[in-house]
A and B are shown apart, each in its own frame.
Chain A
Amino acid sequence: MSTSNRFKAFFDWVDGEEWCAKTPDEVIARQKKAPVRRPTYELDSYRRFRRLNQAVGALFCITLAVVLTLVVVSFPPFGDPANPANNEVPARYIERGIEETGSANLVGGMILSYRVFDTFGESSVLFLAATCVTMLLRRDRNNTTSRDLRELRSDDRADRKDKDIVLRTVVLLLLPVSVMVGFYVMLFGHLSPGGGFSGGSILGGGLILYSRTFGSGSVRKFFNEHLYHLVKVVCLMCYGLILVYYVFTGSNGLDNHIWLGIPGNIISSGIIMPINVLVGFEVACTIYAFYALFSEGEM
Chain B
Amino acid sequence: MSDFLSILWTQRYMVTAVILFCIGTFSLIFNPNLIKKLIGFDLMDGAIYMMLTSAGYIEGRIAPIVTDFSATPSVETYINPVPTGLVLTGIVVSVSVTAFALALVVRIYKKYHTVYLDVIMASMKKGVD
Contact = CB atoms under 8 A, between A and B. Distances in A.
Interface of A: 15-16, 18-24, 26-28, 30-31, 33, 35-43, 46-47, 50, 54, 57-58, 60-61, 64-65, 68-69, 72-73, 75, 77-81, 83, 85-86, 89-91, 93-95, 97-99, 104-107, 110-111, 115, 118-119, 122-123, 125-126, 128-130, 132-133, 136-137, 143, 191-193, 195, 197, 263-264, 290, 293-294
A195 to B, nearest CB: 8
17 contacts: A23-B119, A28-B126, A40-B126, A41-B122, A57-B29, A61-B26, A68-B18, A78-B12, A79-B58, A85-B82, A86-B58, A93-B81, A94-B74, A98-B73, A99-B72, A125-B96, A193-B65
Interface residues of B, number: 78
Contacts of A78: 10-14, 54, 57
Most buried by B among A46, A86, A94, A132: A94
Contact of A36 (B18, B32, B97, B129): B129
Contacts of B93: 122, 125
Nearest to A89: B82
B44 to A, nearest CB: 11
Contacts of A93: 64, 81-82
Interface in B26-82: 26, 29-30, 32-33, 35, 54-59, 63-67, 69, 72-75, 77-78, 80-82
B6 to A, nearest CB: 11
Interchain residue pairs A-B with the least CB separation, the first 9: A129-B96, A37-B127, A79-B59, A106-B64, A21-B114, A36-B127, A136-B103, A24-B123, A30-B113
Given A60-B29, A85-B82, A90-B81, A69 B128 contact: no
Nearest to B85: A111
A228 B109 CA distance: 28
What's the dominant secondary structure at chain A's contact region? helix
A133 to B, nearest CB: 5
Contact of B8 (A73, A89, A98, A111): A73
Contact of A192 (B65, B77, B115): B65
A85 B122 contact: no
Contact of A64 (B22, B89, B100, B110): B22
B106 A137 contact: yes
Contacts of B110: 143
Given A79-B59, A98-B72, 12 more contacts: A20-B115, A22-B119, A65-B22, A90-B81, A105-B66, A110-B82, A115-B85, A125-B93, A133-B99, A136-B103, A294-B103, A294-B106
A290 B101 CA distance: 12
B72 A126 contact: no
A290 B95 CA distance: 11
Contacts of A31: 112-113, 128
- Give the residue among B10, B83, B99, B102 with the most A Cβ atoms within 10 A: B99
B108 to A, nearest CB: 10
